[in-house]
Amino acid sequence: MLYIVGLGLGNEKDITLRGLEAVQKCDKVFIEAYTSLLSFGLSSDGLSTLEKLYGKPVILADRETVEEKADEILSAAADSDVAFLVVGDPFGATTHTDLVVRAKKLGIDVKVVHNASVMNAVGVCGLQLYHYGETVSIPFFTDTWRPDSFYEKIQKNRGLGLHTLCLLDIRVKEPTLESLCRGKKQYEPPRYMSVNTAIEQLLEVEQNRGESAYSEDTMCVGFARLGSEDQKIVAGTMRQLESVDFGAPLHCLVIVGKTHPVEEEMLDFYRTV
């Protein structure tokens, strides 16, 4: 049996009782560590906090393990109980559907234990979850790679008066270009996009496109460490949020669409001024 268990957003205590029961009966426990990370970080300390709670070792599954070595997880699940833990909800990221499909094709039973996701936790700012359009991902720009396909999606959402959730790039265990050329993998230090960088990139794209999908005066909400004790939520224009210090990762951003008076009332609690 493969149990795919959501851990929620805050800390190790956000696992559900059902999730904890599943983990406790599993022979092997993997944790996905690249589409998200726990608010207390996936340092060795972070892992040992989980291990202490579960009373068993937790195997870190980075991008290579999940995408290239999924067979290891699946073959273990074919003849024993295996848990695959995901921060947030298992389906709050597109990547895990693939693991479910592969497991089912191999005849492995799959059970999913849901939890809170960033996709619904952003509701805390008062913008109705029903009023969101397509979610976009904002990748880190490099000198030679500045993809902007999110622009049309935001433009479309705004045209319909809908809010846009922007998920911000996480770069963990990225091989350096140099090491790829040499054939021996060495990794870049982890990077997590801040609200400030996201806005900088969004404004650069708007300047290049010039189609007024949004501007410096567009109202947004920035979120950091949602679900944690020290979460930070600030509403303001892109210009205002560009200089707000949101602190440690993870961050995400909502570009506000057309608002209802009740949504405005809730946003007032988070405004910069």
Ligand X SMILES: C[S@@+](CC[C@H](N)C(=O)[O-])C[C@H]1O[C@@H](n2cnc3c(N)ncnc32)[C@H](O)[C@@H]1O
Annotated binding-site residue? 180: no
Annotated binding-site residue? 92: yes
Please say whether the beta carbons of 33 and 60 come within 8 A.
yes
| Residue 212: CB minimum distance to ligand X, A | 25
Annotated binding-site residue? 50: no
Choice between 33 and 74, CB closer to ligand X: 33
Annotated binding-site residue? 118: yes
Closest to 136 (Cα-Cα) out of 148, 120, 124: 148
- Which residues of the shown chain bind ligand X in the complex (CB under 6 A)? 9, 35-36, 86-89, 92-93, 117-119, 167-168, 170, 223-227, 250-252
Annotated binding-site residue? 62: no
| Residue 85: CB minimum distance to ligand X, A | 10
| Residue 32: CB minimum distance to ligand X, A | 8
Choice between 58 and 252, CB closer to ligand X: 252
State the CB neighbour count (10 A cutoff) for residue 212: 10
Closest to 226 (Cα-Cα) out of 129, 133, 117, 135: 117
| Residue 193: CB minimum distance to ligand X, A | 7
Annotated binding-site residue? 251: yes
Choice between 20 and 78, CB closer to ligand X: 20
Place of tokens 């848990």: 83
| Residue 36: CB minimum distance to ligand X, A | 4
Closest to 125 (Cα-Cα) out of 241, 5, 215: 241
Partners of 85 in the β-ladder: 5, 31
Choice between 10 and 257, CB closer to ligand X: 10
Closest residue to ligand X using C-beta atoms: 92
Annotated binding-site residue? 45: no
| Residue 238: CB minimum distance to ligand X, A | 17
Choice between 86 and 113, CB closer to ligand X: 86
Choice between 11 and 259, CB closer to ligand X: 11
Sequence-separated (6 or more) residues with CB below 8 Å from residue 144: none
- Residues marked as binding? 9, 89, 92, 117-118, 168, 226, 251
Which positions make up the binding site for S-adenosyl-L-methionine? 9, 89, 92, 117-118, 168, 226, 251
